[in-house]
Structure 1
């Protein structure tokens, strides 16, 4: 089963981008440098970084803009507001051997949702799309997660617990409701 990276982990590319690696890190609450966007009224801002590192002997042209990022928050995976005006993207930058390039991005979401943040990144390297990778993390107290097949008392009413219960009833192996 595919598991997401934890915020701060490096993800290595292979095949055509072997030697290139990327990570999402530095997830924290922060106010944007040029002021709040009116569309983020009532939301809490947070910042994160995307760093691309070249560990090869050739250079790569890196491109990362707002359409290549998807930021989701909360247990329902609602879309966060990505503040493109305050964010610093990577637009056609050549990353030479043993060098890094970092993008600083600002997003906003309801404060109740930022304890669970998922960030999906798809780079464009030398005009070719790379594979998408996902990082998960959060800001503040973390909500307990429910693993596949896990049944904790605090998670009985969660959507995952309801789905598991339904599937067990359909298969005839679980408790009757």
Structure 2
């Protein structure tokens, strides 16, 4: 099974050598043109999708709302994508050594922001590319912890899991 990308990582396309994409900048933010009524009582967040051309040829790229799937929380429920406030990449020619960035707004219940999965399927020169997934989240504000104490969230964090794995490997 392939591992998902971490938010901020670049993903190279096998079928279009030199073309790469990344999801980055996931943060809480209000949309610039006001809230959508369908997102009432939800918390808005935004993220960016950047496509970079590292080749010597031009590519025509297309990224709109039907090519993006956002899942939040432990159960992977769908988030609301605010297509009116989002800036998509529609029929843009990306020339060599250039980038194009799309800023997208979505909303979900506040408690589910700690786990956000974003799947992208870019269209390049009228051909669909492979779907790629980025996993990340927005850390909620936690209360301060006394020295020597660990919060429950810290025990389950990725850093803690990596540390535990490395300790186990060093011991064997």
Could you state the TM-score of these two structures normalised by the residue count of structure 1? 0.79
Instruction: Tell me the CA shift for residue 14 of structure 1.
Output: 1.3
Equivalent position of 1:159 in the other structure:
none
Matches within 5 A, 1:26-105: 26-105=25-104
Structure 1 Cα separation of the partners of residues 14 and 107 of structure 2? 33
Structure 1's unaligned 5+ residue stretches are: 147-177
Structure 1 Cα separation of the partners of residues 157 and 83 of structure 2? 31
Structure 1 Cα separation of the partners of residues 24 and 58 of structure 2? 23
Equivalent position of 1:131 in the other structure:
130
Equivalent position of 1:19 in the other structure:
18
The alignment covers a number of residue pairs equal to 145
Instruction: Tell me the CA shift for residue 140 of structure 1.
Output: 1.4
Structure 2 Cα separation of the partners of residues 73 and 8 of structure 1? 17
Moved over 2 A (4+): 141-146
Structure 1 Cα separation of the partners of residues 78 and 157 of structure 2? 20
Instruction: Tell me the CA shift for residue 5 of structure 1.
Output: 0.3
Structure 2 Cα separation of the partners of residues 121 and 71 of structure 1? 9
Structure 2's unaligned 5+ residue stretches are: 141-152, 159-172
Question: SS where residue 32 of structure 1 aligns?
Answer: coil
Could you state the TM-score of these two structures normalised by the residue count of structure 2? 0.82
